Amino acid sequence: MDWNNQYIHSLVLIVAITVAFLTIMLLVAATVLAERRVLAFIQGRLGPNRVGYGGVLQPFADFIKTMMKEDLVPDQSTRFVFLLAPMIAIITAIMAIIVYPFGPTVTLPFLGTFPLRIAQFDVALLYVLGVTSVGVYGIALAGWSSNNKYSLMGGLRSSAQMISYELALGLSLIGVILLSGTLDIYQIVEQQSGWWGMQWNIIYQPLGFILYLIAAIAETNRVPFDLPEAETELVAGFHTEYSSIKFLLFFNAEYINMITVSMLATTLFLGGWNGPGVTQFPLLGVVYFFAKILLFLFIYIWLRGTLPRFRFDQLMNFGWKFLLPAAILNIIVTATFLFLKGGD
């Protein structure tokens, strides 16, 4: 088949985007279920296990139930912004997916050879950071427009938190960028292939990896950094007034953000689709890629079952006085090392 034809290329892109979208949505459902069941096991319970085999259909049942609820818009809310906020949240969450390569170039019967990615461009990493930073508006505006004290507090908290941790998140990635010399995620993954995993950036950037993991958990508003929706203080935080499908959008956006953040960690630090035997069987790369993502998602759930929530001043002190200096130290050490090593 002629892959360079413009129309076929567009068609392939649409198919690729659809496949990626459906994969992510299924992964969201799986994560929601896994979160409830793993959390239950951590706490010595069974969790939902009645709908389908071992509870596999539970997320879909919940989805239908939530869809059927009444869609409320508070009387005193700023209506336009109230409707806009969940859209911003979900659109920015989904937009970040397109840059991640799901696997290497594969050859399939009847279809030919093609790479398992949607888009490859020069500033992919900056694109991810940009889209993430726009995602703050979804939460901030939702909190403001609801005209509810709890929502406003949640929105304010989350904007302050995301501004603070975005810096540490971006700076923790600079070590990897310095090592690989490119912002193109596909190239960064390809540079980490071979040597049985000894080329993975986590070996050369252990501090950067840990800083990224912490900042990413804070950026996705998860335990122990889930102050924007601290149930004990703020009812449900920024989405207190949201019901039905708009609540679902926020809910999905949070889980998609978790997945994309895990994808970024996988591609930048754990070699993406790289693993033993990928050169012989390229399709194995997809398995490795998703296995690594699932590892990160498990860490998310594990932390939620283990750690209590930060206090807000602790959160700010930790972000500005520990994470940020440590990230800058990481950059200085990496840059010095590269300078002494010389080379290109």
The angle at the Cα of 268, spanning 262 to 269, to the nearest 5 degrees, equals: 85
Q: Does 197 bind other proteins (CB under 8 A)?
A: no
Measured from the CB atom, the residue of 121 and 302 that comes closer to other proteins is 121
Find where tokens 């997945």 sit.
259
Q: Does 136 bind other proteins (CB under 8 A)?
A: yes
- Report d(CA 137, CA 15) in Å as an integer: 30
Q: How far is the CB of 168 from other proteins (least distance, A)?
A: 14
Summary count for the chain: helices (H), strands (E): 13, 2
Cβ atoms of residues 93 and 260 within 8 Å: yes
Cβ atoms of residues 157 and 94 within 8 Å: no
Q: Does 129 bind other proteins (CB under 8 A)?
A: yes
- Report d(CA 189, CA 6) in Å as an integer: 27
- Token pair, residue 261, equals 């953040």
Q: Which stretch binds other proteins (CB under 8 A): 53-61, 107-115, 130-138, 201-209?
A: 130-138
Q: Does 159 bind other proteins (CB under 8 A)?
A: yes
Cβ atoms of residues 282 and 114 within 8 Å: no
Q: Which stretch binds other proteins (CB under 8 A): 26-34, 57-65, 149-157, 248-256?
A: 149-157
The contacts of residue 73 (CB under 8 Å, 6+ apart) are 79, 82, 83
Q: Does 156 bind other proteins (CB under 8 A)?
A: yes
- Report d(CA 203, CA 175) in Å as an integer: 12
Q: Does 73 bind other proteins (CB under 8 A)?
A: no
Q: Which stretch binds other proteins (CB under 8 A): 26-34, 115-123, 198-206, 280-288?
A: 115-123
- Of 15, 126, 291, 335, the one binding other proteins (CB under 8 A) is 126
Measured from the CB atom, the residue of 29 and 218 that comes closer to other proteins is 218
Q: Does 108 bind other proteins (CB under 8 A)?
A: no
Q: How far is the CB of 301 from other proteins (least distance, A)?
A: 29
Q: Does 95 bind other proteins (CB under 8 A)?
A: no
Q: Which stretch binds other proteins (CB under 8 A): 105-113, 140-148, 272-280, 293-301?
A: 140-148
Q: Does 216 bind other proteins (CB under 8 A)?
A: no
Q: Which stretch binds other proteins (CB under 8 A): 69-77, 119-127, 204-212, 269-277?
A: 119-127
The contacts of residue 86 (CB under 8 Å, 6+ apart) are 138, 142, 242, 246, 249, 250, 253
Cα distances from 228 to residues 87, 196, 222, 233, 236, in angstroms, run 19, 41, 9, 10, 8
Per DSSP (E only), the strands in the chain are: 103-108, 112-116
Q: How far is the CB of 189 from other proteins (least distance, A)?
A: 17
**Cα first-last separation, the chain:** 39
The angle at the Cα of 302, spanning 162 to 234, to the nearest 5 degrees, equals: 45
**Residues pairing with 105 in the sheet:** 115
Q: Which stretch binds other proteins (CB under 8 A): 11-19, 133-141, 189-197, 287-295?
A: 133-141
Q: How far is the CB of 114 from other proteins (least distance, A)?
A: 22
Q: Does 26 bind other proteins (CB under 8 A)?
A: no
Interacting residue ranges for other proteins, rule: CB under 8 A: 78, 80-81, 84, 121-123, 126-127, 129-134, 136-137, 140-141, 143-144, 152, 155-156, 159-160, 162-163, 166, 182-183
